[in-house]
Amino acid sequence: MSAEIKVPTLGESVTSATIARWLKQPGETVSVDEAVVELETDKVSVEVSAPEAGVLGPHEVAEGAEVEVGALLTVVEAAGAGSAAASPAAKPAPAPAPAVPAAAAPAPAGQTGGIQPPRPTSGPVARPATPPSDVQRPAHDPLPAAQKMMTEKSVEASTVGEGTGKDGRITKGDVLAFLERPAQPAEKPAPAKAPARTDDPREERVKMTRLRKTIASRLKDAQNTAAILTTFNEVDMSAAMKMRTDYKEAFEKKHNGARLGFMSIFVRACISALKEFPAVNAQIDGDDIVYRNFVHMGIAVGGPSGLVVPVLRDADQMGFAEIERSIAGFGKRARDGALKLDELTGGTFSITNGGIYGSLMSTPILNPPQSAILGMHKIMDRPIAVAGQVVIRPMMYVALSYDHRVVDGKEAVSFLVRLKESVEDPRRLLLEL
């Protein structure tokens, strides 16, 4: 008995995948639920496991090939199966060649009648080919009347094409039909191809992963489609940092190890501002604008294959602790390549934090079909004026990139101002101010 391993259902709108690498080779023993092959889709990598224990059969698809959902990848031969199942089946003996009649042999000595005539056969008898009754003329050879007209009109036989006369010869009617055709524009010469690039010996050429190609395509589509504009503000992180310091241990103890970070503060501040300015949470659908009365918050996290944006569904219904636990889980699964496809779709607004890599300021690109994305950055001590005095405060630049087709400048700037107020005084979030 053998069990087939096929390409599983990969999620909504995903119909194919690429064989990233085979984790097991033909003939190797595999156990139940052991990963056999890694597939790469437009969004994440997926490992396909063995449905039962046994010996792995041959690979039906090579690494790097694209496969459809449901395609056969390999089989697992049940443990203890006979060796005949593992070895190739014996090939059937070739059919005997048809008998060829032997040439007539001379009669044995003493037998009268001389050489025996060959026996008649029921098959067709080959006859000598008859010579053609007519000499084959070359294709496009014009008839005399057609040749005369072509000479007068300076027309070449090759431009008229194959004629309608016998053996494809061009007739006078073919020439007249050719002359009545509308003039065809001259074909433009094909653009010269760029010379092939010669790699330097010190360079390394690596094929783009499917995920990287998808990220590149989606970001470029966003730039080509949306009217992207970015507005900036700065946030004094003093109050948020003090709250975190004062309640970090109590928060972690109360919520079973969940660590209090800045992301939950920014998520809650964004949710508060999105409720006040719903256009920032909307999207364009054809000639309509779709406004959402909920928030599915995308949180950009870095993985080994690139940036992915898992989604906190109904984030507006979550508290600080649940937000922190969910974000920590996303980060771990992204590093392990274990994010599920349904965790990466359906976001209505996104946050990306370049500050963890040291970015001081940037202009994030939209995550289609969303209409806005918030960029967080590095916290740096800077001198600022407070009540007429120059003081040193931990400051962060924040950036909101938005689709100007949906969001007006006033709404975008007001959104950032409301975010700034909430982060600089987190008590506003508790009081829903």
Annotated catalytic residues are 404, 408
CB 284 within 8 A of CB 406: yes
Per residue, the 3-state secondary structure of the chain, as one string, reads: CEEEEECCCCCCCCCEEEEEEECCCCCCEECCCCEEEEEECCCCEEEEECCCCEEECCCCCCCCCEEECCCEEEEEEECCCCHHHHCCCCCCCCCCCCCCCCCCCCCCCCCCCCCCCCCCCCCCCCCCCCCCCCCCCCCCCECHHHHHHHHHHCCCHHHHCCCCCHHHCECHHHHHHHHHCCCCCCCCCCCCCCCCCCCCCCCCCCCCCHHHHHHHHHHHHHHHHCCEEEEEEEEECHHHHHHHHHHHHHHHHHCCCCCCCHHHHHHHHHHHHHHHCHHHHCEEECCEEECCCCCCEEECEEECCEEECCEECCHHHCCHHHHHHHHHHHHHHHHHCCCCHHHCCCCCEEEEEHHHHCCCCCCCCCCCCCCEEEEECCCEEEEEEECCEEEEEEEEEEEEEEECCCCCHHHHHHHHHHHHHHHHCCHHHHHCC
Q: What token pair was written down for 78?
A: 């049940």
CB 38 within 8 A of CB 59: no
| CA atoms of 366 and 229, how far apart (whole Å) | 10
Q: Which amino acid is at 371?
A: S
CB 81 within 8 A of CB 54: yes
How many CB atoms lie under 10 A from the CB of residue 370?
A: 23
| CA atoms of 313 and 281, how far apart (whole Å) | 14
The owner of tokens 């659908």 is: 285
